[in-house]
Chain A
């Protein structure tokens, strides 16, 4: 079974631009979570989607948004990029068959998209 895929793997943008990152979860996984990884702040949760609905959101400004499609693929968008948005953005998928909160649901991570803002 194919793992979580993320595209593109690398992006270079300039301040003020916007960017869209894509994530394809493992087949059959319905939950997709997004994280930002930086040397200073570590791994921080952005948001989680299940069945096209955002169920949870981290403490990030409204410039960060996402969506999920009916095939569980997800995108995240960052508008009006700032230098501090340079980071590795990681997507993770989880089976979550019941749609209920199960803390033991494992998350499987993709390789990430490295975003550099100049």
Chain B
């Protein structure tokens, strides 16, 4: 079945530092890939997505490129802010099997940014 693996966390950075959160996946076919963010006490917000190989999703300074050859979708940001502190989830949908309305999530990475 489908699976998503995120880098071990938590991640602690100083403001304006460069961020990378690694995400790799296992799926058959051609899944779509997503990054969601969860702030304390809230639900998940879609941060960015990519639906085919070599697509780059971007939003709010965050970027991720769909790499089919390495089955990866790493999240990057050039300069993080304190307000970026949250939990980040990599997810996929589709990719074969019974996929109606089902997102498969990674375990989440807690990001803390200090001033």
Contact = CB atoms under 8 A, between A and B. Distances in A.
A64 interface: no
Q: Is the interface of B mostly helix, strand, loop or mixed?
A: loop
Contacts of B36: 109
Contacts of B31: 103
Interface in B8-43: 30-32, 34, 36, 41-43
Contact of B100 (A35, A56, A111): A56
Q: Is the interface of A mostly helix, strand, loop or mixed?
A: strand
A94 B46 contact: no
B103 A110 contact: no
A106 B49 contact: yes
Contact of A103 (B45, B95, B106, B107): B95
What class of interface size applies to chain B in its complex with A? 20 to 34
Contact of A107 (B41, B42, B98, B103): B103
Interface string A1-44: 00010000000000000000000000000011101000000110
20 contacts: A31-B100, A33-B102, A42-B108, A45-B104, A48-B102, A50-B100, A55-B101, A56-B98, A101-B100, A102-B94, A103-B30, A103-B99, A104-B94, A106-B34, A107-B93, A107-B101, A109-B36, A109-B43, A110-B43, A112-B43
Given A35-B103, A92-B103, 5 more contacts: A42-B106, A103-B99, A105-B93, A106-B34, A112-B43
Interface of B: 30-32, 34, 36, 41-46, 49, 51, 89, 93-95, 98-108
